[in-house]
Structure 1
């Protein structure tokens, strides 16, 4: 019996070791938005760091490594474009998701800027954010990194590491 319990416990930890948590940086000056985005990301298997300003986001990008970054384009102390340029200077090569209340034209311009800086703008969402769509986008990214299939069902994410949530 002890062997079965050990095997079951070991089987549950194997996906965690294979996948691990991906690191996400959320840059948004609105505390409610940061909380909502962080909650969706955690459900999709991410460890989340939050930044409330351009300056804080830029400092974190320079100091730490992130697997993905969500970015608001209009922050109290600057523009998301400033953060994108700092990300490029720090040689950030992971994907980015823009979540902004700006119109679709400005979000398209951010995609062009990201492309010109050699960065991958994975998705652009308007505010208020569709949390199910964000969670699915993050889960897809995570499955691509891990090379494993993920199943989506009504905005929920299933698969290794998601079944326990």
Structure 2
């Protein structure tokens, strides 16, 4: 029997913190809660979590700063909560490395749906090579099974590893799933709503900013010319 999913919830509003925790526990999640960013960071460093839910506005260390500190050492899925859905908070949270966001007040069913989507993406978590190890070509010198090669970029779709010029690239589960979606159709223009459906599991029209910001993060890690913007349509992965 698998262990319950462990969730770290960081929310300064006591009523919301308690109601979210009770609701998630009813769905079978194990929840640890904190009322401020510094306490949340301490819990994150002391315990293992499968997913983090961070409010943007937190005393001490805000959710944006907390997300950045988490991303220094972990690829754990991060869901941001914001009271302002169209403000700079959303963009800042996604730029800091969050995988998705919800706007408060949020219905429990929507929150759980986003959590389940993030956990499904977490199955794409890459495995980094051991210290000093560098992946090399197969013995016959050609791409092996499950290997996609684009110049100096190699994707091992079986081992879920990404290397650039022989060095491992650390990607969050969402970034990795987005890259795999691009690599499945190199040279094909993919619209934002297609990526929202295939990568974020949105069965409805979502906020395309999550796509744009995730593409920006991929460009920083893989090179800006790897993914081309096709204005008015979407993105295309260069062959």
Unpaired stretches in structure 1, ≥5 consecutive residues: 1-16, 115-120, 147-165
Larger helix percent: 1
Q: Is the 8 A contact 1:101 1:127 kept in 2?
A: yes
Correspondence for 2:71 among 81, 88, 104: 88
Q: Is the 8 A contact 2:9 2:33 kept in 1?
A: yes
Q: How many residues align?
A: 123
TM-score (norm 1): 0.66
The structure showing larger relative contact order (alpha-carbon pairs under 8 Å, at least 6 residues apart) is 1
Partner residue of 1:38? 21
Give the secondary structure class of the aligned counterpart of 1:124. Answer: strand
Correspondence for 2:111 among 127, 134, 143: 134
TM-score (norm 2): 0.47
2:121 and 2:70 map into 1 onto residues whose CA distance is 22
Task: Please state how far the C-alpha of 1:143 moved relative to its aligned partner.
Answer: 5.4
Task: Please state how far the C-alpha of 1:36 moved relative to its aligned partner.
Answer: 2.1
The 5 Å alignment of 1:149-160 reads none
Partner residue of 2:35? 52
Partner residue of 2:86? 104
Correspondence for 2:58 among 57, 70, 75: 75
1:142 and 1:103 map into 2 onto residues whose CA distance is 23
Q: Is the 8 A contact 1:44 1:136 kept in 2?
A: no
Distance change in 2, residues 1:99/1:41 (3 Å): same
Task: Please state how far the C-alpha of 1:92 moved relative to its aligned partner.
Answer: 2.0
Greater Rg, structure 1 or structure 2? 2
Q: Is the 8 A contact 2:64 2:92 kept in 1?
A: no
Unpaired stretches in structure 2, ≥5 consecutive residues: 124-239
